[in-house]
Amino acid sequence: MVKVGIVGATGYAGAELVRLLMGHSEVQIVWYGSKSYVGQDFASIYMNARGFTGEECKADDLDKMAEECDVIFTATPQGYLGSVLNEDILSRTKIIDLSADFRLTDVSTYEKWYGIEHKSPQLINRAVYGLCELYREKIRGRDLVANPGCYTTCSILTAYPMVAEGLIDPDTLIIDAASGTSGAGRGAKVQNLYCEVNESMKPYGVTNHRHTPEIEQELSLAAGRDIMVNFTPHLAPMNRGILATEYATLNLRNGSYPTMEDVQAAYEKYYGDEFFIRLLPKGQMPETRWVEGSNFVDIGYLIDERTHRLIMVGAIDNLVKGAAGQALQNMNILFGLDEKTGLTGMPVFP
């Protein structure tokens, strides 16, 4: 059995990790870390866990956890892991970090977009970006995984084959994405109160959302050169889900534009054998309700013949494939388990 510890177990992503790990046949949760609820039963905070665990929450102590855990998930705010992680801890356990501390390979970019100093830049090159469908071979055997962000997972996977195959001009890429309110975390914020969110939809982080450089970093690797994108997130009045609608101009090649058959062939090349990526039939577009509670990514696409632009749409559950599910998928890869273990549940509807 893989012994697991969770730092930040009582946040939304941490609690989702608990839910998924409870259905995993090869793991045992030995440490429920929570700064706010030390000494309280986890199931008294999240009552859906009644009958599944009677464990109390413990203080976040990465050094002690490294002695007891084969892997530690850190579902914490940006800056936490960077401030406490060191070589000694990594010599004793594996870390899967759900924050942004090790996602960006350039320290100055991290410090600019997140507004904090990176406390352990020497470890950045040790980390691997944990977007499983693209980098699983790099993930195997590593001890520090930077679990991608929710918006980035959806945005990158939706556009990646088109960028990598040169079917679109990535400099024309525009990404409009909407997220459920759980993406903002469990902390009390006025702008996330029911009356502030219900029956409304709003953009935020316009031109400066922190997931922008992460999207650009990975799509630049696909393009083989530096690119910039327009990314605008929106808050939608729903609990879960991300829907990313992406637009880009098709590249004219040999006097003609790519066809739907070309687009389909590119998606099939990259994702045809991927269990968690579901390519939808021609003309069908994703909806967040069809991925809720699951680790699936639904992708649809259509060419606008009038404007020679490709419209790509992706949908995920922000707490599962966008956070806890992908983290569990990374854990399965790290420990040589079937990648789907604990993640094969059908999406929940209604």
Question: What pLDDT score was predicted for residue 101?
Answer: 98
- Cβ atoms of residues 259 and 303 within 8 Å: yes
Question: What pLDDT score was predicted for residue 189?
Answer: 78
Which residue in the block uniquely carries the two structure tokens 């650009």? 216
What does the pLDDT look like over 267-288, one tens digit per residue? 999 999 999 999 999 889 999 9
CA angle, residues 321, 126, 163, in degrees to nearest 5:
50
Spatial separation of the C-alpha atoms in residues 52 and 342, rounded to whole Å:
15
Nearest-Å Rg of the Cα atoms of the chain is 20
Question: What pLDDT score was predicted for residue 188?
Answer: 67
What's the first-to-final CA gap in the chain, in angstroms? Answer: 34
Percent pLDDT > 70 in the chain is 100
Could you tell me the CATH superfamily of domain 151-317? Dihydrodipicolinate Reductase; domain 2 (3.30.360.10)
Q: What is the mean pLDDT of residues 207-214?
A: 97
Which residues are part of the catalytic machinery? 150
Is residue 131 within a helix (H) or strand (E), and if so which, with residue range? none
CATH of segment(s) 2-126: 3.40.50.720
CA 165 to centroid of chain Cα atoms: 23
In terms of pTM, does the model score above 0.75? yes
What tokens were used for 228? 């910039």
Question: What pLDDT score was predicted for residue 133?
Answer: 98
What does the pLDDT look like over 119-162, one tens digit per residue? 999 999 999 999 999 999 999 999 999 999 999 999 999 999 99
CATH 3.40.50.720 in the chain, residues? 2-126
CATH 3.30.360.10 in the chain, residues? 151-317
Question: What pLDDT score was predicted for residue 194?
Answer: 83
Question: What pLDDT score was predicted for residue 233?
Answer: 98
